């Protein structure tokens, strides 16, 4: 059963906070207020958002380029902005196929308008919760060929899944459905890169103002998501340290990032 939250613009939602931090316009007053409150407690959160988005671009360029991946399953895509997964992948390999998954109705509305492909490539959008892996895999198989490698991207989404829902088992079930040579890209806000006082303040704020709970995880806990894969160099690092490119935003994040190749 999909456990999607109701649509309530009076409560901040992760996707719309992320949009605001990236300078987007597709957000509501609640998200703006929550974002400003977050920045008061942890000003570096704006850099986290920019560095995380840049990591997505670099990871997809690596996957479509060096790794030769032509199929992508982007779960928790957020509101479309510049440099969406299909745009990055299809610039390198126009035949790339990309399936997006999110449960926010605002994302759905924008996806229908913006997530379109030209030429030989294709995109699709699934309105579903990450925890509904059977539904996601069933729908994604309508566009993707699971007998060939697929890259799963879980960018800044797993921290919205509490330990009680066993996110490690969710990721494992996704990867079991894919053949060797498939890849997994994850970014995750870090428990061990933020001081305890700041983390406590962010937890309290989330309880008061944000629709989803946030679970900070350590580097060791994030590394466990990559069981059964070989981590691509430089392995698990802060997102801005993963294969940096000229023009990337400068700063120090509190977000772990890595890409692994399924054995």
Q: Which pLDDT score is estimated for 118?
A: 67
Q: Look at the alpha carbons of 51, 52, 53, 56 in this order and tell me if their dihedral is positive or negative.
A: positive
Identify whether the C-beta of residue 261 lies closer than 8 Å to the C-beta of residue 230: yes
* Cα diameter, the chain: 51
Identify whether the C-beta of residue 119 lies closer than 8 Å to the C-beta of residue 150: no
Identify whether the C-beta of residue 188 lies closer than 8 Å to the C-beta of residue 156: yes
Q: Which pLDDT score is estimated for 200?
A: 86
As beta bridge partners, residue 97 has: 71, 122
Q: Which of 139, 222, 210, 231 is nearest to 177 (CA)?
A: 139
Burial 117-141 (b: 16+ CB within 10 A, else e): beeebbbbbbbbbbbbbebbbebbe
- C-alpha to C-alpha distances, 244 to 63, 125, 161, 240, nearest whole angstrom: 15, 29, 28, 6
Identify whether the C-beta of residue 212 lies closer than 8 Å to the C-beta of residue 131: no
pLDDT tens string 68-80: 999 999 998 776 6
Query: Range with the lowest mean pLDDT among 31-45, 128-142, 153-167?
Result: 31-45
pLDDT tens string 137-168: 999 999 999 999 999 999 999 998 999 999 99
At 237, the pLDDT band (50, 70, 90 cuts) reads very high
As beta bridge partners, residue 184 has: 152, 260
- C-alpha to C-alpha distances, 255 to 54, 124, 218, 219, nearest whole angstrom: 12, 28, 10, 9
């Amino acid at each position: 059963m999909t456990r999607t939250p109701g649509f309530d613009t009076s409560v901040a939602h992760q996707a719309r906070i992320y949009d605001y931090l990236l300078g987007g316009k597709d957000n509501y007053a609640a998200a703006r207020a929550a974002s400003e409150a977050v920045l008061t407690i942890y000003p570096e959160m704006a850099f986290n958002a920019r560095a995380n988005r840049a990591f997505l671009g670099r990871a997809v360029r690596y996957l479509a380029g060096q790794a030769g991946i032509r199929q992508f399953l982007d779960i928790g895509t957020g509101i479309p902005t510049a440099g969406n997964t299909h745009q990055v992948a299809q610039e390198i390999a126009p035949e790339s196929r990309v399936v997006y998954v999110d449960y926010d109705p605002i994302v759905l509305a924008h996806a229908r308008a913006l997530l379109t492909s030209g030429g030989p490539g294709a995109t699709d959008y699934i309105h579903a919760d990450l925890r509904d892996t059977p539904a996601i895999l069933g729908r994604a198989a309508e566009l993707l060929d699971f007998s060939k490698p697929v890259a799963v991207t879980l960018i800044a989404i797993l921290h919205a899944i509490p330990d009680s829902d066993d996110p490690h088992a969710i990721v494992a079930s996704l990867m079991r459905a894919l053949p060797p040579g498939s890849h997994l890209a994850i970014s995750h806000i870090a428990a061990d890169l933020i001081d305890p006082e700041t983390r406590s303040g962010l937890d309290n704020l989330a309880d008061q103002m944000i629709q989803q709970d946030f679970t900070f995880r350590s580097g060791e806990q994030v590394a466990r998501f990559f069981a059964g894969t070989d981590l691509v160099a430089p392995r698990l690092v802060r997102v801005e340290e993963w294969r940096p490119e000229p023009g990337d935003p400068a700063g120090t994040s509190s977000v772990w990032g890595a890409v692994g190749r399924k054995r």
